[in-house]
Structure 1
Amino acid sequence: MSRSGRPRSIAVAVATVIGILATAIGTLLGTASANAALSAPAVSSVASGYGHTCAVRIDKTLWCWGSNYLGELGDGTTTARTTPVRIGDAATWASLDAGTSYTCGIRTDGTLWCWGNNFRGQLGDGTTTNRTSPVRVGTASSWASVSAGDGHTCATRTDGTLWCWGFNRFAQLGIGSDVYTVSAPVQVGTATTWAGVTAGFAHTCAVRTEGTLWCWGNATDGQLGVGDLTYRATPAQVGTATTWSGVTAGYAFTCGVRTEGTLWCWGENGYGQLGVSGTHRTTPVQVGAGTAWTGVRAGFDTACATGTDRSLWCWGNNSTGQLADGTTTHRNAPTRIGAATTWADSYAPGYHVCGSRTDDSLWCWGNNANGQLGDGTTATRPAPAQVGFPA
C-alpha cells in the first residue's frame, strides 16, 4: 500500500448509475482503441502508488508510468510518463508493490529490488539515496512477497520469516526498538509462519499460516484493531480468529477477509473507508452481512473489494472520482464499479484505482494529474479505461 504525507484522510449499496457508467466506458474505450500505436497485452501483477503505476506483463517484463519526481518509475530518469515505459531489459519480474513514491518488485529467481524515494531507507539497500533504477535489496534470493508503505517496507521469505526496514518513528517495523530508521532488512521476531504482510502509512499487519492476524505500529485511529489507541512496537494479535485469509493496510485503516467470505475493516473512518457509518473503530467491524468477498485492497482513504461473482466494489474517499459512480461524493458503503463480472483484482486504491479482469487486461480510473492512468493524457477518468502498452 502506498501513502503520501496526509493528503488522504467496504452493507452493500446497489449503484444507480450503471447506465451512465456503461456510456462513459464505451466512450473511453473508443478513445483508447483509436491509438494504433498501443496494444493491450495481459498483465500478471500491478502496483499503484500515489501518482504512479507499474505492471508486470505476462511475458515478465516490467512497465511503469506516471509521476517520476523521485525515480519511482525506475527508468533511469526523473521524467514523468503518461504512457507505459519498459523498465530495463529483464524479463524475469514476478510481482510488485508500490509505496507512495517508490516501488519494489520480486524476480523469478527470488531476488528483491526497489527504486525511487529512499529518504527513510525504505529501499533497503543500506543507504538513504534515491534510486532511479532498480537496486537489489541484500543478497537473499528467497523473497516471497513484498509490501511498500509510505516510508517503510516489509517482506516475507519462503522460509516463513518476516523482514521490515525504513522509517520506524511509530514502531511500524515491529522490531521492538525505537530506532528512527533502518536502511536494510531486519527480521521481525523469530516466527517462521508468516504468510503475507501489508504496510500502511505508519502501521503494519500480517497473517500467519494458521490464519491468525497480527498488527503493530501507530494506533492513533484504531488501525491496529486491538481495541485501543496504544501503539505496539511488536506484533499484537487482532482478536482470536484463526480464519483470516488476507489483510490490507490503508493510510490509517485496515481491512481483511476471512475464509468464510466475510469482510471486515477498522481504524479511521472520516471518508467512510471502513464501509460503515460512524466514527473510527478500534476493533474489526463487519462490512454488511455478505459472505461472498474474495479479496480486498486498501489505499489512502479508499478501499475496493472483489466478490465471488467477479464484481468490483469500492468505497471511501471519492474526491477524484475514484469510485467511478459519476460523482465526487464520498461513500460509506461499497459502491459497485459498473456491471462487469470479470474483475480479478484491484490495486492499492487511492486517488486513482486500477483493476485487472479475468482476461488479465488492465483498467484504470480516477486522478490522472501525473499520467498515472497511462492513457497518454493527464485528464481525470470517471470510469475504467483499458491501459494500452507500446506495441
Structure 2
Amino acid sequence: MTLVLLLLTGLSPVQALDRGQRGVQGDHSIAGPASAAVTDVAAASASTGRVGGSDRYATSAAISRRAFPKGAEVVYLARGDEFADAVAGGMLTDGPILLVRPCGAVPSAVKREISRLAPRQVIALGGVGAVCEKTLRAAAAGRSTDRIAGEGRYDTAAFISERAYPAHTEEPVFTEEPVYIASGTAYADAVAAGSLTDGPVLLVRPDGSFPRSVLIELSRVLPNTAVGLGGSTVVADATLEQLPYADQRPDRVHGRNRYETAATIAGRAFPEAPSTVYLARGDTLADAVAAGVLTDGPVLLVNRRCGALPASVATYLSLVTPDRVLALGGPSAVCDDTLQAASAAARPGQEPVSTQVAASGGQSCAVTAAGAVRCWGSNSSGALGDGTTTDSATPVSVTGLGPGSARSVALGGAFGCGLTTDGAVRCWGSNHDGTLGGPYGSHSTVPVDIPRLGAGTTVQLTTGRKHACAVTITGATRCWGSNSSSQLGIGMEKGGSTIMPSLVSGLGPGTTRQVDANHLSTCATRTDGAAQCWGANVVGALGDGTQVERNRPSQVSGLGTGTTAQVSVGVHGGCAVTAGGAVRCWGDNAQGELGYPHEGGGQYWSLVPVEVATLGAGSTIAVDASGSGFNCALSSLSATVCWGANSDGTLGTGSSGASRPTPGPVDGLGRGTTVRVATGYAHACAVTTEGQVRCWGDNSYGQIGDGTFDQRVSPVRVVP
C-alpha cells in the first residue's frame, strides 16, 4: 500500500535463491605464488585482483586453479574459438572446463593444469569437429577419455544436461524447479547463466523451435516452468509458452542488453550477497565461458570501454558491496581502470538510511535511521514480524531486520515486506495468496526470502491487500500474490494467484520508475513519465476513462509521456503528482477525496484525473492515496496536508466527523516539519524533520504506536 522510493544517489532504478551446493572440490582460498589463479593488480586496492593468463586458454586454466585448488576427478575440454559446447558445459560442476583449439597442440597452460589436477578422466564436449581425437588424447596423457556429443550443439546441450542432472530413480529429476531456455546462436545470456544451479540450460534454434533431443530431455526432467534467458528477441515468448510439461507461467531473466541480463542472473543465482564478484568482457565472452565452476560469486559482464561500467553492474555492486572484485582475463580484457571503477562502486559511501514509515489497515512500521525495521499494531498471522502473533501498541523489532539491514518497508492487509540494504525482498505474515513466495495457506511470524528477488535485484517495493510488486535494478516490474481482480497485471485471466514474482505485461527492463499497489489495483510511473494502472476498476479506480477491469497496464487518461512524477493507488481511486508538482486524482469522491465537494445528486466519482483544489503546480512533492476515503500529501513546503473522510480523525485536525474536500494542514505538521507521509486504511503517519514518527486516526489495534488503544485526532509521537 504505502509507496516507498529507494533513492540511490539520485539515479533511476536502471542506473542506480537459496543457492544449491555445487560439486567443487576443496575450498576457494586464494592460491599464493605468482603462478596462482589470483594475482594482485598493481596499485589496486586489496579488494581487487585478477583470475587470468596470457590468453583465453591460460585464463581457463587460472579459473580452474581457483575453483579446484586440490584437484578434480574429471576435466572437460571445450573448443575455445567457438563457444556452443562450452556454454552448455556451464551446467557441469564436478570438474573445470578447459579451453583448447579444435585440433592440434594442447595449450601449455592447459597441459600443466591437467597435470596439476590429476584427473581420472578427460572428457571432450562436442564432436570431433569441436575437439578432435588427437587433441583429446594429447590432453589426457594416458588417462581415460570420453566424449559428450550429439549431432549438433542442441543435442550436446541435452546430453550435458543428462550428465549434470542424472536421474537416481525412475521418477523425474525435477518437480519444483525450472529449466532455462537459451538461444543456440546468441551465447551471451547463457554464458552468464553458468552460476545458476537450480535447473538445466537447454538450447533452442534461432526460429524458436525445440530440437527432438531437447524435447526428450524436457520429458525426463519435467520442469515446473520455463525461464527464458534474454529478451523476447533472443528467446521468443511463443517458444517459452509451448514448453511441454510446465505447470507454471513462463518466466524470463533478462535486461535490455547482455549486461543487464547478467546482473539479473546474478541476483537470481545469489540470493544472499556474494563475497566475490567476477568481471568479464561481454563482447568477446572468451574468459567468461569457463567461469561457471566459480561458486563464490557471479560473473558480471562489462564492455570494452576502459573505466566505464554498465549502469546495471554499478547498481548491483553498490547494493551487494562484495569484499572482492576480480577480473577474468588480463588487462587487455578488463582494464585496470574498469576494475577500479567496480571496486569504487562496491563501496559507494551511501548516506545513512533515513527514517521511513508505512501504514495499512491495523499495522504501522518504520525503518529507523539506523536501518532497522520496527512495527506495531495488529499481529494477525504474524504481521508484525517479531516471531509472535501478539498485538502491540508500541513498536517491536522485526526479526532479522536489525540495524543496517533495511532500506524500506511496506505493509499489506495482514503481511509486510522489507527491502534490505543489499537489494533483496523479505516478507512476513499472512501467506494465503502466496504473498510470502511459498506454499499457499501458511504464514510466517518472521521474514522469509522472496524467490527471484534476492540480493542485488530490487530497488523499490510496494504491497497491496494480498499482493506485492517490486521494481528491479533493470527497471522492470514484477508482482506476486493474489490475482482475484487482475491486480498482478501479468496478462492472465482474473482469479488465482502466483507465488513467484512475475513480469508485468509491458513493464519489462527499462520501463518502470516507481510502482504502487493497494487493495485490488496497482499503478506505475514509467520511465518516460507516463502513468499506467491495472486491476479492479470499480468507479474508475484506474483513471483510464472506463470501469473495465484490466489484466495489463492501462494508460491513465491525461497522464501520458512526460507528465507524471509519482503515482499512488487507493481502494477505489488514485492520485498522481505531475511533473510540474500538481496533484490530480480520480475514482471515488463520496468523501471529497478528489478535492472538491460531493453535492447531493451529483457525480460520486470521476473516471479520469481531475485537479485537486489548492494543490496546483509546484505545490507537492509526494501523494499517498492508500487511505479509505482520504488522501494525504507532502507539500513542497515540507508540510503534511490531508483531505477527504474524517470519521476516525484521519485528517489530523483535532476533531473527527465531517469530511473535508479541500486539502488542509495536519495539526503540528505545518511548514518545515515533514519529510515523509503514509496513509493506512483509517490512520496515517508522518516522519518529521527531526526524525520522529507521528501517527493519528483509528487506534483499534494500537497502530498509532503510543502505547494506547485510544483514537487520536491529532498526531502523537510513536513510542521510541
TM-score by length of 2: 0.47
Question: Match for 1:144: what amino acid?
Answer: V
In the other structure, the counterpart of 1:55 is 366
1:307 alignment partner AA: S
Q: 1:56 to 1:266 in 2, by over 3 A?
A: same
Q: Give me the CA root mean square deviation.
A: 1.6
Matches within 5 A, 1:78-157: 78-89=389-400, 90-91=402-403, 92-139=405-452, 140-141=454-455, 142-157=457-472
The one of 626, 631, 640 aligned to 1:312: 640
Structure 2, gaps ≥5 residues long? 3-352, 599-603
Cα distance in 2 between the residues matched to 1:75 and 1:322: 27
Q: Secondary structure at the match of 1:313?
A: strand
Moved more, 270-279 or 62-71: 270-279
Aligned counterparts of 1:367 and 1:263: Cα–Cα separation in 2: 26
User: Does the CA contact (< 8 Å) of 2:588 and 2:606 recur in 1?
Assistant: yes
Per-residue CA deviation, residues 259-290 of structure 1 (Å, 9 max, x unaligned), is 21110000111222222233211110010252
After superposition, residues 304-343 of structure 1 pair within 5 angstroms as 304-325=632-653, 326-338=655-667, 340-341=670-671, 342-343=673-674
**DSSP-derived class of the 2:607 partner:** strand
Aligned amino acid, residue 71 of structure 1: G
SS of the aligned residue for 2:381 comes to coil
More helix by share: 2
2: CA distance between counterparts of 1:343 and 1:350? 21
Distance 2:439 2:532 in 1: 27
Higher strand share: 1
Q: Post-superposition shift, 1:302?
A: 1.6
Aligned equivalent of 2:340: none
Q: Which amino acid is the alignment partner of residue 431 of structure 2?
A: N
Please say if residues 304 and 349 of structure 1, whose CA atoms lie closer than 8 Å, have aligned partners that are also in contact. Answer: no
Secondary structure of the corresponding residue to residue 70 of structure 1: helix
* One-letter amino acid of the structure 2 residue matched with residue 309 of structure 1: L
How far is the alpha carbon of 1:246 from its aligned partner? 0.4
Matches within 5 A, 1:167-182: 167-178=482-493, 179-182=495-498
User: What is the distance in 2 between the residues matched to 1:149 and 1:308?
Assistant: 27
Which of residues 57, 69, 78 is equivalent to 2:380?
Answer: 69
Return the TM-score normalized by structure 1. 0.86
Secondary structure of the corresponding residue to residue 144 of structure 1: strand
Give the Cα separation in 1 of the matches to 2:370 and 2:482: 34
Contact 1:166 1:182 in 2 (8 A): yes
1:247 to 555, 567, 571: 567
Quick one: distance in 2 between partners of 1:275 and 1:103? 30
Match runs of 1:136-215 below 5 Å:
136-139=449-452, 140-141=454-455, 142-178=457-493, 179-189=495-505, 191-192=508-509, 193-215=511-533
Percent of aligned positions that are identical:
35
CA distance in 1 between counterparts of 2:450 and 2:438 reads: 5
Contact 2:650–2:656 under 8 Å retained in 1: no
Question: Per-residue displacement from partner, 1:308-348 (whole Å, max 9, x unpaired)?
Answer: 11121111221111112223211222121125221112112
Q: 2:606 aligns with which of 270, 281, 290?
A: 281
* Matched residue, 1:358: 689
1:155 offset after TM fit, Å?
A: 0.9
Alignment-derived partner of residue 19 in structure 1: none
Distance 1:207 1:43 in 2: 23
Superposed CA offset, 1:179-215 (max 9, x none):
5111221111252221111112111110111101111
CA shift for structure 1 position 241 = 4.5
Which amino acid is 2:359 matched to?
A: S
CA contact (8 A) 1:318 1:331 kept: yes
Give the 5 Å matches for 1:197-276: 197-239=515-557, 240-276=560-596
| Alpha-carbon displacement from aligned partner over 1:7-45 (angstroms, at most 9, x marks no partner) | xxxxxxxxxxxxxxxxxxxxxxxxxxxxxxxxxxx9622
- Say whether the 8 Å CA contact 2:376–2:702 is kept in structure 1: yes
Contiguous gaps of at least 5 residues in structure 1: 3-41
Deviation at 1:126, TM superposition (A): 4.7
SS of the aligned residue for 1:221 comes to helix
Q: Residue 709 of structure 2 aligns with which residue?
A: 378
**Kept after mapping to 1: 8 A contact 2:393/2:706:** yes
| Cα distance in 1 for residues equivalent to 2:449 and 2:438 | 7
Radius of gyration: which is bigger?
2
- 8 Å CA contact 1:147, 1:153 repeated in 2: yes
